[in-house]
Amino acid sequence: MQLIKGNQIVFSKNALLSSSDYEYTPGQKWMATGANGSITNFSALNFFNNGFNRGDTVYVVAYGESFYSNIYIDPANGKKVFPNVNAAHPSNSALFILQ
């Protein structure tokens, strides 16, 4: 039996990003069937359309998510809220330079 895990990823120009303090998160979660799921199919346009610029250092963190997402928009700040993510145990953060 293969275990399927949901992952929610968030991006920011701030190295101290979190599931509630981020600048961009995709509209969908990713499902991984192993411990090392690959996240692909992002273009620079995804980031340019969400406040990032060429040359920015972009930080990324992934969070475990339930099989069924429960996402809503916080009316105070307009950000997506993910009550089902495991905020206590995020992945290590990674970074890249947006080209």
Q: What would the two tokens of residue 85 be?
A: 């993510």
Residue 88 pLDDT level (bands cut at 50, 70, 90): confident
**Each residue's pLDDT tens digit, 15-47:** 999 988 899 988 666 655 555 555 666 788 989
For the chain, what is the radius of gyration of the CA atoms? 13
Report angle CA 48, 12, 72 to the nearest 5 degrees. 90
pTM of the model: 0.79
